[in-house]
Amino acid sequence: MRAPRVGKAVQAPGRDGEGMGAVRRIWLLAWRDLRLEVRDRAGLLSVLAFFSVMLFIMALALGPEEEPLRRAAPGVLWVALAFGSTLLSTRAFALEVEDGTLDDLLLTPGGKEWIYFGKLLFQMFLLLPLSLLALLMAAGLFYLPLDRLLPLFLTLLLGVLGYTSVATFYAGLLARLRGREVLLPLLLFSLVVPVVLAAVRATLGLVEGLPLEEVQNWWQLLLVFDVVYLTASALLFPVVLEG
Amino acid sequence: MLLRLQGISKRFGREWVIRNLSFALERGETVALVGPNGSGKTTLLRLMAGLLKPTRGRVEREGRALFLPNPPAFHRHLTAREHLLYDLAFHGREGDWQGALRRFGLPEEVPLAAFSSGMKKRLALVRLTLLAPDVWLLDEPETALDGEGRALLIGILREARRSAGVVLATHDRALASEVADRTLVLGGV
């Protein structure tokens, strides 16, 4: 992976002459973390293995009839996404803690909100493609129809955004604690249950062929959770990062 | 005044590491912190940087402070070029990173996992010169450096004092007497 844009950004700062803006920093932090994660590979491979094994076992346990498999698919998919994603959630800050570079980020000028959004974007970069892959696996194993792929993708986007907004916050909160891998799911699941439930209902509606107007209610609910979680997390994040 | 500590104390659990310390740093000044292991040198540097909050007292800073830990921290999967470019971007600064790497004899495209401790220390010094903070906080910057690296360190510390204030924690009395205007001795509490 190459990122010539970083060099460009440094050689050609913003028109205001005060260097790059927060949006650019957010983008670069997410891109840098993605590059580190891809080079490290450990987190990505473990989640891929988890998705494959879980979906395969559930398909074997619930099959082989088509109808029960199809009805169970949304629940199985979102449970797999929720559990699998916890494996990646700690990665957002584990990259910094393992290499001891968190202090460098904290000493960058300006507020700390951009760090939250950069880490959030990094998680989205990781989880969205993985979620799509899990959706395709579920389609193959659970007879999940993909004729409404765009609405399904929108559900994935809203669900993953709600999940990662809380996960990134807690990953930052727990970054310096031992046993963060154990604590994170305990704290996280209590808050993301509404997101997961709404995402399951929206996915089920799409699979069962309900009109989009009916599914829309679940999307709106997901959007509300996303906005609330994002706002609260971004506001609280600088406070929890203080030493 | 770049940095002022007013009656600060720091406690970890029941253990007081620093008790009622006051200190001030002017621009153009270099201060050496000396003292035995566990005397609170690193804790004091972290308090000065704002990475720790004092249990009591106040820390006032003017301008940007950067802290060089010992050992220096880098992402091992990035190269020196990538690391410096990201650091410059995050700090909203520009700089001749290629020239700085050449001056310190460091390769651009080798992953940092392959760097020795001395090379990492040199890279940390390159990073500091490029980011040019107002307050330089260095924890044992001489560690792992060879003779040439040490000479480079002394050179950049002399350059830094022209526009910044420097505080370095060290066990090397010779270095302290060579670069520092005054020495603060920490003896434990």
Cβ-nearest to B77 among A10, A24, A39? A39
Distance between B92 CA and the closest CA of chain A, angstroms: 4
Contact B137, B167 (CB under 8 A): yes
A35-68: pLDDT as tens digits: 999 998 888 888 889 989 999 999 999 878 888 8
B182: phi > 0 → left, psi -120 to 50 → alpha, else beta; which?
beta
Residue A228 Cα to chain centre, angstroms: 16
Inspect the interface and report whether the beta carbons of B89 and A104 lie closer than 8 Å.
no
Q: What residues of A are in contact with residue B80 (Cβ under 8 Å)? A: none
β-partners of residue B23 are B5
Contact B80, B130 (CB under 8 A): no
Strands across the sheet with B135-139, in order?
A: B65-68, B135-139, B165-169, B30-34, B182-185
Distance between B52 CA and the closest CA of chain A, angstroms: 5
For A10, list phi and psi in degrees, rounded to 5: -75, -40
Inspect the interface and report whether the beta carbons of A103 and B49 lie closer than 8 Å.
yes
A164-221: pLDDT as tens digits: 999 999 998 888 787 777 888 888 888 899 999 999 999 999 998 899 999 999 999 9
Residue type, B39: S
Could you give all domains of chain B from N- to C-terminal order, each with its CATH number?
A: 3-185 (3.40.50.300)
B4-16: pLDDT as tens digits: 999 999 999 989 9
- Search chain B and give the residue with CA nearest A112: B90
Interface membership of B126 toward A (CB under 8 Å):
no
Q: Give pLDDT < 70 ranges for chain B.
A: 188-189
- Show the CA angle centred on residue A27, arms to residues A24 and A28, nearest 5°: 85
Residue A159, pLDDT score: 95
Q: What distance in Å separates the CA atoms of residue A213 and residue A23, rounded to the nearest whole number? A: 34
Residue A84, pLDDT score: 86
For residue A7, pLDDT beyond 90: no
- Search chain B and give the residue with CA nearest A115: B90
Strands B56-61 and B3-12 turn out to be antiparallel
Residue A243, pLDDT score: 55
For residue A2, pLDDT beyond 80: no
Domain ranges of chain A: 20-241
Interface membership of A104 toward B (CB under 8 Å):
yes
Interface membership of A42 toward B (CB under 8 Å):
no
Interface membership of B93 toward A (CB under 8 Å):
yes
Q: What residues of B are in contact with residue A108 (Cβ under 8 Å)? A: 90-91
Write the DSSP assignment of A51-70 as a string of letters. HHHHHHHHHHHH-S-HHHHH
Q: What distance in Å separates the CA atoms of residue A184 and residue A179, rounded to the nearest whole number? A: 9
For residue A16, pLDDT beyond 60: no
Q: Could you write out the three-class secondary structure of B139-170?
A: ECCCCCCCHHHHHHHHHHHHHHCCCCEEEEEC
Interface membership of B51 toward A (CB under 8 Å):
yes
Q: Which two tokens stand for residue A239?
A: 């406070």
For residue A134, pLDDT beyond 70: yes
